[in-house]
Amino acid sequence: MMQQVDIGSRVQLRKAHPCGSDEWVVYRLGADIGLRCVGCGRQVLLARSELAKRLKRVLSSENTIQKDYE
């Protein structure tokens, strides 16, 4: 079962993005989860089931939003 994520959650995926970062920030929740790469700002949509497979861990939750990616 997948860990809970919210808008603003910072998550780490099993496979790093080509830019070298493996951290993403959740910007959209729904049937698909929107993730923005912390390294390059690229936005992607992943189905929940796909995210569950790729998710390594949740680094921070909603109440500890980090603003350094803006």
From start to end of 1-70, where are the E strands?
10-13, 23-28, 32-37, 43-47, 55-60
CB nearer to Zn ion: pick between 19 and 29? 19
Q: Which stretch binds Zn ion (CB under 5 A): 4-12, 15-23, 53-61, 62-70?
A: 15-23
Site for Zn ion in 19-58 (CB under 5 A): 19, 21, 37, 39-40
How many other C-beta atoms are found inside a 10 Å radius of the C-beta of residue 68? 5
Token pair for residue 66? 């980090």
Size of the site for Zn ion (CB under 5 A): 6
Which positions touch Zn ion (CB under 5 A)? 17, 19, 21, 37, 39-40
